[in-house]
Amino acid sequence: MNKETIRKAILDIIAEIAPDEVLDAIDDGKTLRDQFNLDSMDFLDIVMELRKRFNIEVPEEDYEHLTTLTSTVTYLEPMMKNQVYS
């Protein structure tokens, strides 16, 4: 997957976990928690959904890399480069 496809996959997961949130005006450089009403359980749900859909393990010590959409895409890109998303 390329960066744009990874970004879309992450936004699709967020949309499922927080269906009331509007994702159209997201600022990729701003923290996701500041933009959306995401609590720690929502964050863990996002991590678990990445694991389930893409077989990606994100160790707890790497959660700091998942704060903004940009940092999340950058962190996941090497792990997801051979993944297919439809």
Over residues 49-77, the pLDDT tens digits come to 999 999 999 999 999 999 999 999 999 99
Helix, coil or strand: residue 31: strand
Long-range (24+ apart) CB contacts under 8 A made by 80-84 are: 80/1, 80/6, 80/9, 80/54, 80/56, 81/1, 83/1, 83/54, 84/1
Is 24 domain-assigned? yes
User: Where in the sequence is the domain holding 66, given as residue range(s)?
Assistant: 3-80
CATH code for the domain of 18: 1.10.1200.10
Number of domains in the chain: 1
**Residue 86 belongs to a domain:** no
pTM of the model: 0.87
Mean pLDDT, all residues of the chain: 91
Within a domain: 85: no
Residue 8 resides in a domain: yes
